Structure 1
Amino acid sequence: MSEAPKPAGIGDYVLSESVGYLISRVRSTMWNMVTQHTSSELGITGTQASIMFMLAVGKCATAADIAREYGIDASAVTRLIDRLEKRGLLSRVRSEADRRVVRLALTEDGRVMAEQVPAIFTSVLDNLLAGFTPEEVGFLKNMLRRVLANSCDSAAALALNANDKPATSLR
C-alpha cells in the first residue's frame, strides 16, 4: 500500500514558479505603468482612466456595471464616480424609463480624455511585450482566455475573443 503524496508545504512552495503569483505581478506592474502615464498625461489615476474608457466603449453604463467589472464594492465605485463628476468628466443621468436606474455619461471633456486612453494602454503593453513575436502574443491571449473560461466566466472569455484585434496585435 503506497502513501498518498503529501501536499506541498511552505518550504516546498517556490513563489517565483507560481502562475498565480506571476499573473499578479504582471498585473501589478502593468497597472503601475498605466497609472504613471495617466497621472502625468491626463491628471487622473489608471482606474479612473479605465472607467472612462469602459463608459466610452459602452462596456459599462452604471455604477453597478463598474463594480461587477472591476470586482470592487459599490461604495468605492461611488467615490470614483464622485471624483470624476467633480472634475467635470462624467455626469449621472437618471433613466426616464426607470427612475431607479442612474446611468453614467461622459461629458465632452471626459470623452476627449477617454479617447487618449487606448494609446496609453498600447504604449504600456508594447513596452511589456517587447521582443514577443505576434504568434507569442496571440498564444498568450489564447492561454489567458482559457484561464478565464476555466473560471466559469466563459461569457467574459467569449467577449474578449469577439472584441479582440487580430492575433498579430500587441494590444
Structure 2
Amino acid sequence: MNDESLPSAAARPQVPVFCQVGSAEDTVGYRMRRIVNLLAGEIERRMEPLGLTDAQWKPLLRMFASGDTTVATLARGCHLDAGAMTRLLDRLEAKNLCRRIRSVEDRRVVNLELTDEGRVAARQIPDVVAEVQAVAAAGFSQQEFDQLKEYLERILTNVLPFGGDADASAQRSSASVSASEGSKK
C-alpha cells in the first residue's frame, strides 16, 4: 500500500472518542465475532443429538419454515454460493433429511422437500436455538433485549455500504446458482 492510497489526516473523518480503541478486544467487531463463535459452538453442540452441524440446521429450518422451496431460493436465503449449497444438500440428503426434485415444468429449477425425518428434526431446531439465545439474554429485560437487537440492526445498516454484506453476497451467489441450474437444462 502506498502513501497516495491513504487519505490525508485532514481528509479523514473525525473519529468520536468512544470509537477509539487500544486493543482488538476493545472493538465492537471483536466482541460480536466472539459472541457469534460462542453461540454457534453451543448451538452445534446441542444439535449433535439431531445429527446436525451449525451449517446444516439453518437451511433445514428455512425449508421447514417456508415449505417446499428451490435450491436457488434456499441458497439465496442462506447466503451460500451454488457449490456450497450443493455440498450442504448432498450431506442433508445423505442423512435422509431432504431430497432434490427436478421441476417438470422447468428443468432448470431444482425443487427441495423435507423428508419425514427432516421434518421431525426441523421441528426441534427452534427450541434448541431459543434455549441458547435465552442463556445469552440472561439478565436482560424484554425491553433491553429488543433495544440490543435495534442497536445491532443500526450497526448493520451503518456497515452495509462496506460492500461485504451477506445480502449482497447472497444476491451474487443466487445469480451463480441460477446460472448453474440453467446450464443443466
What TM-score do the two structures reach when normalised by structure 2? Answer: 0.70
Q: Quote the residue 2:75 is aligned against.
A: 67
Partner amino acid, structure 2, of 1:78: T
Q: Quote the residue 2:10 is aligned against.
A: 4
Map residues 1-171 of structure 1 onto 2, 5 A cutoff. 4=10, 13-39=22-48, 41-58=49-66, 61-150=69-158, 151=160
Unaligned ranges ≥5, structure 2 = 1-8, 16-20, 168-185
Asked if structure 1 preserves the Cα contact closer than 8 Å seen for 2:59 and 2:78, the reply is no
Asked if structure 2 preserves the Cα contact closer than 8 Å seen for 1:38 and 1:44, the reply is yes
- 2:146 and 2:33 map into 1 onto residues whose CA distance is 20
- 1:141 and 1:62 map into 2 onto residues whose CA distance is 30
In our comparison, the structure showing a higher alpha carbon Rg is: 2
CA distance change for structure 1 residues 54 and 60 in 2, over 3 Å: closer, same or farther? farther
Partner amino acid, structure 2, of 1:112: V
- 1:15 and 1:75 map into 2 onto residues whose CA distance is 33
What TM-score do the two structures reach when normalised by structure 1? Answer: 0.75
- 2:156 and 2:12 map into 1 onto residues whose CA distance is 29
Asked if structure 1 preserves the Cα contact closer than 8 Å seen for 2:40 and 2:54, the reply is yes
Instruction: Write out per-residue CA displacement over residues 33-77 of structure 1, whole angstroms, 9 at most, x where no aligned residue.
Output: 1100001x2012122111100111118823333333333332121
Larger mean CA deviation between 136-145 and 58-67 belongs to 58-67
Unaligned ranges ≥5, structure 1 = 157-171
Cα RMSD for the two superposed structures: 2.6
- 2:68 and 2:142 map into 1 onto residues whose CA distance is 30
- 1:149 and 1:20 map into 2 onto residues whose CA distance is 14
Identify the structure with the greater helix proportion: 2
Which structure would you say has the larger RCO, counting Cα contacts within 8 Å and 6 or more residues apart? Answer: 2
Between the two proteins, the alignment pairs up a number of residues equal to 148
The offset of 1:87, in angstroms, is: 1.3
